[in-house]
Amino acid sequence: MEQLLSQLNEQQREAVVNTEGPLLILAGAGSGKTRVIAYRIAFLICEKGVPPWNILAVTFTNKSAQEMRTRVQRLLQGQELSSAPWVSTFHSLCVRILRQDIEQLKESYSRTFTIYDQDDSLRLIKNAVKDLGYDDKHLGARSVQSAISSAKNRGEDVEAFAARADYVDERRAAIARVYKTYEERLHANNALDFDDLMIKTVRLLRNAPEVRDKYNRKFRYILVDEYQDTNSLQFALVSLLTQQQQNICVVGDEDQSIYKWRGADITNILNFEKHFPNSKIIRLEQNYRSTQTILDVAGAVVKRNTERKGKNLWTSNPPGERVRYYQAFDAEAEARFVASKIREHRNEQPNIRAAVLYRTNSQSRVFEEAMRRAGLPYNIVGGFSFYERQEVRDIIAYLKLALNPTDSIALQRVINSPPRGIGKQTLEEIDRRARDFGLSIWETIALVIEKPDGLSPRAVAALKNFRTIIYHLAELAGAPLPRGTGVRGPRRGSPAGVLDPPVGDAQGAFNSESFASPDEHAQDAHATLAQVAHVTLSDSPVSDVVKAAILDTGYEIALKSEKTDEADARLENLQELVNAAVDYDEQGVEGLREFIDHSALSSDTDQYKSEVPVTLLTAHSAKGLEFPLVFIVGLEDGLFPHSRSATDPAELEEERRLCYVAITRAEKYLYVTHAMKRRVYGEELASEPSQFLNEMPLEMIEDLTMGKSWLSFARGSTTIDYPQDEPHKEKRKYMGKTYDSVDSIAEFFKLRGQQMGNTRGSSPPIVTKSAPRRSPGAPPLAHPQDEGGTSDFVPGSYVRHAKYGRGLVLRREGVGDSTKLTVSFPGHGQKKLVQKYANLESA
DNA sequence: TAAAGAAAGTTTTTT
DNA sequence: ACTTTCTTTA
């Protein structure tokens, strides 16, 4: 341990050895935060003799949890440990607690509850919107989902939400009714959505003193990573868990707070000392990751934020090279540039790892393509994960059904996939009857099989077939379902663990008939966590059940008979799913349930290989990672910063922090690029450089663009700093001929025309050399061709609308009569208007 | 009922 | 541009 401690600097060491009482570690980017947490855990175990199971470390993503586990493991190598410390995400921690104790909540949820991911929850909301008779045009399921989610995260239940929805606000009242139905149906399905996982856990700990006490005694030392991103529920959870011992250590950095949109509450970290009296604060300000230049650039950008305490991040690393800049013609050219630079770097340093950071996942496609073309193996983080693929979700749905057939979302998903003759008509009829009798769909199927009442024999046969498949899977899983109309589940079965494996008969699962009815078995609601984790009663491995879900359902045959490349790829994915299941082969229902939980809670592919030359990811998912070579791409106005943040200064600051996070991922080399035009929704749009580029010290940037670029214009003029709070007054001064991307495109064509000896073609007007720089974000001048009258309505200018009043033009699309403007009106939100009909005047 | 074709919505970031 | 959902047709 002595030797371990000597590898840390003074502040880091302080952070490690101060194990007792509340501790706030303010850790700047690259200051060795993960290292400190790992050492701290090792220190607690080795030096303080704390048993590993008394330690809990919570992170936000699976990726960082995994990283943490590996680090701790490496430090403790050689140590014989009886168990590992709990390192988990907030959500998986909640799942583990709820799987154990949710019945103490007395809300008639059973421990066999199903987790609904965002997609499942969206389906449920869609159904609810439809069944309540609302027009899904007016009440988009997605926006309802986000309204409900943020209500939940504010701690507003249905009643509170409805109370705030007075009769004036019809839309809100409608959402309130959907919210109510949604909650009822979640409950009827014995299902919890992501937000519920937090909510129910907090409620459980609040309302059940004995449960709270149990976990307080269990988790004697708690660490929370990325504390600046915690929301009020997560704060409540942490407070409840540390009520008794107060050994709470949180690590965070206000400059890296990028999840306010998801309810993160920065005051959690700012008021830590108030929440936890007698707390210590330690600052980690030495950066070990980046060159001085990269750090300076990052600092210059984030300095523009006003909502900030500020800190003194320094490094003893060499200055390194300048940041490199490239202005690409379009998104494809940008990707080609990045790929070729990565190859150049790898020629110099064969094993250098590169990352491409973009604002939105939709940008990843071009880069994938370019990497493939350049023969660079790449790894893509986020986007559609493995578990989000249709075929994988289908098989998971079968598995969910085997454990909980009342899960109507899973049932609807697979009842007819692969096609087995249960069509829309049949489903609607069943749905109607289910509602009439107040039964779940599964229960109704049983009813219909006995009393078809007008349903075609063919449909009944198909339903029977489907039911047999589920019966079979349930038996194989070691959780046999009662035959006939008898139904169990949270609503009628005994609440405790009816779905749990039969105790004391290892053969049970294989002998399907003998377990047609569930055995009575002792259920200790207060079983210890260890007991739950090691229930190994049924003999069938998880992978066998997964295989059965692929084969016995006819899924494989259906795919094989398709004989398309796509079907083959799907089959391969399913093989991959079986492989994943092999890892979970600790047998039995608990193993299967854990497997399913994992699939719901892992959004990013965890088999992310760090040795791969190139990693493609969003700036958000890059947080916590570092790469010697980093490309920040798409630095364009409206993209990064994103246009959705244009109207709110606080949101713009969050975008800036995101940019800060992106820059500080780089160790040695940083490239920043933008394209002059880009396709958005299939439409080609000219794009302006990001204001964040302008906030970087220009002398620290090297221009790699062939010919003229935005940067060369920017350099040609004196830098004008306008005060943060009053940008508009200053900006309006620059009304001379300015840079904009149309001119740059003109420049590009001219240049290319010269290179190719081609002087023909209608070159747009060329920009004058002496052009002063326009500060990005300022109103660009009208293009020469639309001079007069309407030419003022360009992005950045203000207009007046008869109904909405004064608004800011954000985007302009199309030409002539079809010109559309996206305008943001304070109090009315963004509107898309056809310029010809909108009767706008400039304001 | 299922497959094929047409229309509409989509993209901010994530557990 | 791409994907999901609605509509038509075999």
Model pLDDT, residue A395: 93
A352-371 pLDDT, tens digit each: 999 999 999 999 999 999 99
Q: Helix (H, G, I), strand (E, B), or coil: what is residue A660?
A: helix
Could you tell me what percent of chain A has a pLDDT over 70? 79
| Annotated active-site residue in A11, A12, A13, A33 | A33
Q: How confident is the model at residue A521 (pLDDT cuts 50, 70, 90)?
A: very low
Q: How far apart are CA A201 and CA A91, in angstroms?
A: 10
All protein residues with a CB under 7 A from any atom of strand C: A 365, 679, 681-682
Which pLDDT belongs to residue A204? 97
What is the CA A475 to C1' B12 distance in angstroms? Answer: 44
Q: How far is CA A370 from CA A123, A360, A363, in A?
A: 35, 17, 12
Quote the pLDDT of residue A506: 32
pLDDT digits (tens, 9 = 90+) for A474-484: 999 988 888 76
pLDDT (mean) for A314-322: 96
- In DSSP notation, A531-572 reads HHHT-------HHHHHHHHHHTTSHHHHHHHH-SHHHHHHHH
**Rounded to two decimals, what is the model's pTM?**
0.78
pLDDT of residue A479: 86
What does the pLDDT read at residue A609?
65
Tokens at residue A415, please? 């009842």
- Comparing A408-412, A546-550, A609-613, A806-810, which segment has the lowest mean pLDDT? A806-810
Of residues A421 and A495, which shows the higher confidence score?
A: A421
* pLDDT band, residue A311 (cuts 50/70/90): confident
A152 has catalytic annotation: no
- φ/ψ region of A100 (left if φ > 0, alpha if ψ in -120 to 50, else beta) reads alpha
pLDDT tens-digit series, residues A227-285: 999 999 999 999 999 999 899 999 999 999 999 988 899 899 989 999 999 999 999 99
Both tokens of residue A383?
A: 């986007």
- Give the integer Cα–Cα distance in Å for A698 and A694: 7
Q: Which residues contact A345 (CB under 8 A, 6 or more apart)?
A: A352, A354, A629, A669
A254 contacts A308 by C-beta, under 8 angstroms: yes
Mark out the alpha helices in A52-169 (DSSP H runs). Answer: 62-75, 90-101, 118-131, 141-154, 158-164
Residue A430: name the closest of A448, A453, A418 by CA: A448
Residue A107 reports pLDDT greater than 90: yes
Number of H helices, E strands in chain A: 34, 21
Nucleotides of B under 7 A from a protein CB: 1-3, 9-15
Active site residue A618: no
* Mean per-residue pLDDT of chain A: 81
Cβ atoms A744, A708 nearer than 8 A: yes
Name the residue among A244, A259, A154, A158 with its Cα closest to residue A198: A154
Q: Convert the pLDDT of each residue in A812-843 to its tens digit.
A: 766 666 677 766 665 455 566 777 777 787 77
Residue A47 is classified by DSSP as T
Angstrom distance (rounded) from CA A413 to CA A397:
7
Q: Stretch A276-295: mean pLDDT, rounded?
A: 95
pLDDT at A526 over 80: no
The 10s digit of each residue's pLDDT in A113-135 is 999 988 899 989 988 888 888 87
Check residue A315 and report its DSSP letter: -
Indicate if CB(A262) is under 7 A from strand B: yes
Q: Which nucleotides of C are covered by protein (CB under 7 A)?
A: 1-2
The one catalytic residue among A226, A229, A590, A695: A226
**Catalytic-residue membership of A33:** yes
Question: What's the number of CA atoms in the CB half-sphere (13 Å) around residue A766?
Answer: 12
Q: Are A676 and A687 in contact (CB under 8 A)?
A: yes
